Structure 1
C-alpha cells in the first residue's frame, strides 16, 4: 500500500531495530527468539503508539485542529506519547487519566507533566468515558480539538501497524510468528490488515492483557471490526471475522496493570539475559505469555518467533516496590 498517499506526520525514528535474543533463546531451550524494538521508536522514551500517532496527528493537522484530547490509565504509555507528540507540534494537550492525582508524580505521569499536558483525573473511568464532554467544553470556548481515541485505536490508528508489518518483513522475512500485547485493538487490527494485503503467512498472536477484555469473543470481534473499518476507509478488499483473530486469553494473570509473579519473572529474565527492559503493564504480560508457551512446548527449536516490544519502560519506575519486594 502506498502509505505516502495518506496524511502522516513524522514523529519517530523508523525502522526500529530488530535483532535476535540468543541468551534468552538458550535459557528457555525453545525457538529462535527475535525482538522488534518499538521501545526505541524515539519519541518520549519510545513506544509503539508513535506509529499510530503519526497517522492520527497527520489527520489532526489536516483538519487544522488547535488542541489534542486523549485518555487512558494513570500510567498510560499512549497518553505519554500523545502528550509528547502534541508538544512537538506545539498543540495544547488534554489528558483524561484514570485514578486520582498521586502525591508524587512518577513514571508516565511525571513525563505527562514535563510535556505540558493538562491532566484531568477521572477516578474509575480510564478508557476515555469523559472525552465527549471535554470535547464539547473546548468547542464552546472556540477551540478545534482533535480526539485521539483510547489507545489510538480507530481506523486511522490501524495504519500505524499496517505499515509496521511491512517494515518488519523487509528486515526479516522468515519470522513464523509474532507475539505482542493486545489491549485496545488497533495494533492487532493493523497487523492483520497488512498480513492480508501483503499475502503473508506469518502467524499473529495477540496476548490479551486486560480482564476487561476477558470476553475474548467480544474483543476478537472488536479487533475484526477495527480492521474492517480501516479496510473499507482506505479502499482495500480484505474483510475479517472474529475467527480470524488469534487472541490468547490464558495469561491475564491478576488483571490489568497488576504485577504478578509471571510478569515479574519476565521482566527480570529479559533484563538479566539480554539487558532489555519490559514494562509492567503490557510487555511483561505478553512476554510472560511467550515464556509460558515455550515451556509448554508450543514451538520447535527450528522456529523463528518474534516478540514485538511495544515500549512502556517509564512505567517501571512506578512499580519499584513491587519489582524488588
Structure 2
C-alpha cells in the first residue's frame, strides 16, 4: 500500500464509505473532499458518481485528474465529468491560502471547529467558493467526509512521505480518526 493510500486497494475503503453515506444520508446532494493523492475522491466517485462528489485540489500532486480517473476506473467505476476545483491550491501543497485562513477563522468563530491548513481549510474554502459561484446551491444539503487530518498538524511534501487525505465544513467528530460532517446550506447566500 503506498503512503497516502492511493491505490485501488486504499480507494476501496472510500467506496465502502460511499455506501455508508448512502445508507445514513440517502438524500445527500454533494460530498466535498480535499484531494491529496486522489484515493478518497476516487472511492467516493466510484460509489456515488462524479456529479455528487466535489474535490478540492490541495496541490499535493501534479496530476490529480489523471490520478483520480485511473483509480476510479481501477475500481470498476465510471468517471464522467469530475468536479475538481483547482482554485484553492495557492502557493502549493501545505501552504495556507487567504481563503483557507478565512475558512479556519470562520469555522472556529461560528461553529467551534478546528480546521487544519493543508486539507480541511482548503476543502472548506472550496465549498465556500462552490456556493459563491453556484456549483453548490444553498438548500441543497451538501454532506461529506474527511479522513483524519489532526487539528494543528502540519503536512509537508516529501518523496518518502506523500500526502493523503481530505477535508471540510461543519463537522462532528467520530470516535475514530475520521470526521464526518453534514453541511447545512439552507439559508440564501448573502
**TM-score normalized by structure 1?**
0.44
Confirm or deny that 1:177 pairs with 2:177. Answer: no
Equivalent in the alignment of 2:96: 259
Shift of 1:279: 1.3
- Alignment size in residue pairs: 155
Shift of 1:190: 0.7
Equivalent in the alignment of 1:207: 56
For the residues of structure 2 that align with 1:268 and 1:210, how far apart are their CA atoms? 22
Confirm or deny that 1:228 pairs with 2:55. Answer: no
Runs of 4+ in 1 over 6 A off after TM superposition: none
Shift of 1:318: 5.3
Are the structure 2 counterparts of residues 211 and 183 from structure 1 closer, same or farther at C-alpha, using a change threshold of 3 Å?
closer
| Root-mean-square deviation over aligned CA pairs | 2.3
- Which has more helix, going by share of residues? 1
Are the structure 2 counterparts of residues 293 and 192 from structure 1 closer, same or farther at C-alpha, using a change threshold of 3 Å?
closer
| Preserved CA contact (<8 Å) 1:208 1:252 | yes
Shift of 1:211: 6.1
- Post-superposition CA distance 1:99-151 (Å, at most 9, x none): xxxxxxxxxxxxxxxxxxxxxxxxxxxxxxxxxxxxxxxxxxxxxxxxx3021
Which sections of structure 1, spanning at least 5 residues, go unmatched? 1-147, 232-237, 320-325
Are the structure 2 counterparts of residues 226 and 212 from structure 1 closer, same or farther at C-alpha, using a change threshold of 3 Å?
closer
**TM-score normalized by structure 2?**
0.72
For the residues of structure 2 that align with 1:318 and 1:181, how far apart are their CA atoms? 15
2:14 is matched with which residue: 161, 170, 183?
Answer: 161
Equivalent in the alignment of 1:280: 117
For the residues of structure 2 that align with 1:162 and 1:209, how far apart are their CA atoms? 21
- Post-superposition CA distance 1:268-314 (Å, at most 9, x none): 11111111211111111111111122233444332111243333124
For the residues of structure 2 that align with 1:266 and 1:273, how far apart are their CA atoms? 10
The higher radius of gyration belongs to 1
For the residues of structure 2 that align with 1:157 and 1:318, how far apart are their CA atoms? 22
| Preserved CA contact (<8 Å) 1:179 1:290 | yes
Equivalent in the alignment of 1:294: 131
| Preserved CA contact (<8 Å) 1:210 1:252 | yes
Shift of 1:160: 0.6
For the residues of structure 2 that align with 1:266 and 1:227, how far apart are their CA atoms? 29
Q: Residues 1-325 of structure 1: matches in 2 within 5 Å? A: 148-195=1-48, 203-210=52-59, 212-213=61-62, 218-231=63-76, 238-240=77-79, 243-314=80-151, 316=152
